[in-house]
A and B are shown apart, each in its own frame.
Chain A
Amino acid sequence: QQPVQSPQAVILREGEDAVINCSSSKALYSVHWYRQKHGEAPVFLMILLKGGEQKGHEKISASFNEKKQQSSLYLTASQLSYSGTYFCGAISYSGGGADGLTFGKGTHLIIQP
């Protein structure tokens, strides 16, 4: 089961803030966030691990609620370069250990000048 992202699309003016949410029905080992621009490969933004450890770009912030299996990505003072599709990916536990990275359907972010 893939994680559920919301909203599906966001249109912002440059300088505005946005929050993208990701939730899973399964117990999570980690949550990943990636951004993909049209015609390009997804680019790693951040990973949030069970237990509170976070690794990623300094200008990106995110949260991970382990009890609710939810994560949020915070984009503040948005710039034109932030436009793209944001994917959350989840690694969950199953009977045999941790599963592979499963992605949500993505959130399309458009930043207007």
Chain B
Amino acid sequence: KAGVTQTPRYLIKTRGQQVTLSCSPISGHRSVSWYQQTPGQGLQFLFEYFSETQRNKGNFPGRFSGRQFSNSRSEMNVSTLELGDSALYLCASSLWGQGSNGYTFGSGTRLTVV
């Protein structure tokens, strides 16, 4: 079956712009989580959605937001981009919340802010 699909794979944006990243989970998975990965900070939890509701949110500013649609697809948005937002953004899906069967990660979107 198809894995977790993230689009686009690469993005280059200018400081101050906004960006929207998309994630399609494995068919049947209802939980989608987002992570930011950087060499300095590692994997940091952004938020988790389950059945269109945000269940948890990490320690990120309000510029980072997300949503989940009725088909479980999810988007995350970053407004007023800063240079420090350059990172690999990973999406992961799970059958149930809290990843009770483990999470399957997508290949990520590499965002570069210039």
Contacts and interface: CB of A to CB of B under 8 A. Distances in A.
Contacts of B16: none
B43 A47 contact: no
B70 interface: no
What are the 5 closest A-B residue pairs judged by CB atoms, nearest first?
Answer: A100-B56, A44-B102, A41-B105, A103-B43, A100-B45
Interface in A13-60: 29-30, 32, 34, 40-44, 46-47, 49, 55-56
A41 B58 contact: no
B45 A103 contact: yes
- Interface residue range, chain B: 20 to 34
In this complex, the member of B33, B42, B44, B104 whose beta carbon has the largest number of chain A beta carbons within 10 angstroms is B42
Contacts of A43: 105
A47 B102 contact: yes
Contact of A42 (B47, B55, B58, B90): B90
A80 interface: no
Contacts of A30: 98-100
23 contacts: A2-B42, A32-B102, A34-B103, A34-B105, A40-B107, A41-B90, A41-B107, A42-B43, A42-B105, A44-B102, A47-B101, A55-B101, A55-B102, A56-B102, A87-B42, A89-B43, A100-B55, A100-B56, A100-B57, A100-B58, A101-B33, A105-B42, A106-B42
A98 B98 CA distance: 8
Contacts of A46: 102
A76 B31 CA distance: 33
Contacts of B100: 30, 47, 49
Contact of A100 (B48, B101, B102, B105): B48
B66 interface: no
Nearest to B99: A101
A2 B90 CA distance: 18
A6 interface: no
A79 interface: no
B108 interface: yes
Contacts of B35: 103
